[in-house]
Structure 1
Amino acid sequence: MQEYDAGPGEDASENARQLAASFAKVLKTGKPDHLAVLHYPIPIEQPDGTVLYDDRYWSCTHTPIKDASGSVTHILQHTSDITELERLRRQVGRLRPEEASSALDSLIGGGMFRRAMSVQADNRRLESERRQLLDIFMQTPGFVAVLNGPEHVIQLHNGAYGQLIGHRDVVGKPIREALPELAGQGFYDCLDEVLATGEPFQGRQSPVQLQHMPNGSLTTRYLNFIYQPIRNDTGAIMGVFVQGHDVTDTVLAAERQKLMIDELNHRVKNTLATVQSIAMQTARSHEDPRSFAETFQSRILSLSHTHDLLTRSHWEGADLREVLEHETAAHGLHRLTLNGPSVSLDPAMAVSLGMIFHELATNAAKYGALTPGEGRVLVDWSVADLNNPHLAILWRETGGPSVAQPERRGFGSRLIERNVRHDLAGTAQMHYRDNGLSAEITIPLNKEAA
């Protein structure tokens, strides 16, 4: 800001500041500004080259001069020298009360001059308060805007509102022109209703489609907001005050939580159904309570192992090799050979295959290659047809006792068949040979295609 020479004295800097502030206000607002009383000495150069200051008082009016576009190009300063009035005021001020009895004396000595000084002081105070309120308005964390008139012209908005609309240049534009993407979403109608009725409108978690830049793609935001009518001194409604908060993150978090709870309920129901089925089928195959308890416990532990794997990945899935290792580790990994690529299984696949591998390993430990001896289990798997991928698993037992096809299907066989056919939409073939059991399992990896 340009510095102005206000002469010597303690008040010089304040006098210069008042003058500069008045000019700045005219440039910013485009409206005239008045200084009722300005103490501003005038420098007068003396014949010997020295400069003396003539103490003067002024009443100033600063009027903007604008070009065709409405921009302020010049400021017209009209000043009235009220120095003599000030000197008379001071002179009268030194008189005794009984001496200052005329109307003119009263006028000069106090009334008009003091009122002028008081008005100017009030104006400075109000201007300071206005700036403070404007700073608070602009820095508030929620979005705020002031809309004027029946067209809802955006007169002012803060940074949060600008961020919400992609920092578009909307000041001075009607809302329908500034934010055309709001058409058909009901917000224009709500603003019209507030302006017509004077009743505020409140929205909670209201979805709104907004562009972050002109002609850009629409994004969905969720807002808590209120439209408040703005009234003038006579009570007439002049505009709408918009205030609110972007609660998109809160709404999306609540939706994710609901989805997680629904998914948890689904998993719990499925798990309980699986446990119930295991209990019933195990009871049919084991009349002895001790035998039932041991078998039932081992199958529940198998289910628990797979759940542990899924928990580590936040139930996003598990790798096939990890599922196999978990379900066969109790029988000694040195007696198993696992060969195949990395295959990611979704949670449902992981649970079903975990139960299947547990049954195969348990049967091998009781009757097949994993009984005491030199038997081994070889598990090979591969993925075929990448356009419609299928997982092929071959479980082969070697070096163990010969096995014969059972006379009746036990729970293990039924569980394998049910899980493969119904849960995994695949096929399973069991071959009982002299050198051990062989199981071929094929399941689609794309469940939608299946």
Structure 2
Amino acid sequence: MARLIGSFDWSRTSIGSLCEWPPYLRSAVDVMLGANVQIVLFWGPQFLALYNDAYAPTIGDKHPHALGKPAREYWAELWTDLEPLLRRVLETGETVSAKDRPFYIERGRGPETVYFDISYSPVHGDDGAVAGVFCIVNETTELKRAQDIERQLAAIIASTDDAILSSDLDMTITSWNRGAERLYGYGADEMIGRSVLLLIPEDRSDEEHELFRKISRGEHVPPYETKRRRRDGTFVDVSLTVSPIYGGAGEIVGASKIARDITGKKQFERFQAMALGELKHRIKNILSTVTAIARQTFVNGEEERAAARTFDERLASLARAHDVLTNGNWEEADLRAVIDTALQPYSPDRFQISGPAISVGAHTVTALTLAFHELATNAAKYGALSQDGGRVSINWHEDRDASRFVLSWKEEGGPNVIAPTHRGFGSKLIERLLASELRGEVRLEFAPSGLICEVDAARHAEGTEAS
């Protein structure tokens, strides 16, 4: 800026050529150019602008064109705000100062509101009149925004129902919000400066030490559920989120913890488990009653007893389908779990099972379990599972939109297969369950090397039917 000011043609301005500058103007410019703080000097009634290197970045693309120009020209967008300040100093000779003074400015990055600490002082001429305004400024925009964010975060932390506390790496508590007071029963004055281990059940102290070891190493700690001890000695179920706190040099200096009371969630889970257990028990009782009725009904001869055994096995298969659902959320289950459960009566060494992890709806679970029971029963009587060395390959994949899946059952190593002259109940059941119930397509091929069953079905048959 010293070079630019020295080479500028000041003779074309109201200040006059450089060699004619009065001593007080030279002194003001020398002070300005030698300073490391942001300074702009507005001179004369037109407020012609002179500024130093520290100030130049503050005005963005106005530099260097604003040098020697009236302030009204290059500070036009904020002139109605700036002019009264400059005229006050020029006309009264008093110094005007302010902290975080907002200004609306355009400097090449679009219109923005920025903030400055300002000190506008008069520069007096030989006659004692004010000749110019010496403006020392310090842009505080980023600091102001950071402080605003900090205040907002502090307000959120103070008003949230979640318990939020921070501690250093020695596990000493350094902050404690009202949510923590409500959850744990301790006031901030009681907990700040004390160890966070006061809140940890004795059987979970190792968990807390390992947590801080991970934080100090910069490792990610995913949210998890645990227990914490209240002031009255009782325990509360919480969902805990832990984040590192960084120091000014970027080093990890502590941990921030957000704990949410999940007592209601845990109570619901316990009630849900009890209700599902009761439902499972009642379903089994119903199936047992149906089985007893069937056994009492089919008692006349060997053929009837064989039918009763087949009926029992199908009911047992249906019970296993309900086991899969009650072990989950009753709405869906993993396809591999469905297959493994359906094939429990048989040695797993006889099956080669592969496919991606996908979930299927409750209706699909029941239909698949019964269908696999029929396929396995047929294989044990007539197909690959009826002799040593026979195996069954089961594989599946999703279609493109993941709403359907394609599954294949393929038998190998069994006796030569001869296509039946008529379809038995098992074949009809398979086709009904997989084709009709699941809105799918079924292909049964009695190849000489072994039965092949291929099905293209909906993952969630209930949704298909509803639509």
TM value normalised by structure 2 = 0.36
- Which structure has the larger Rg over C-alpha atoms? 1
TM value normalised by structure 1 = 0.38
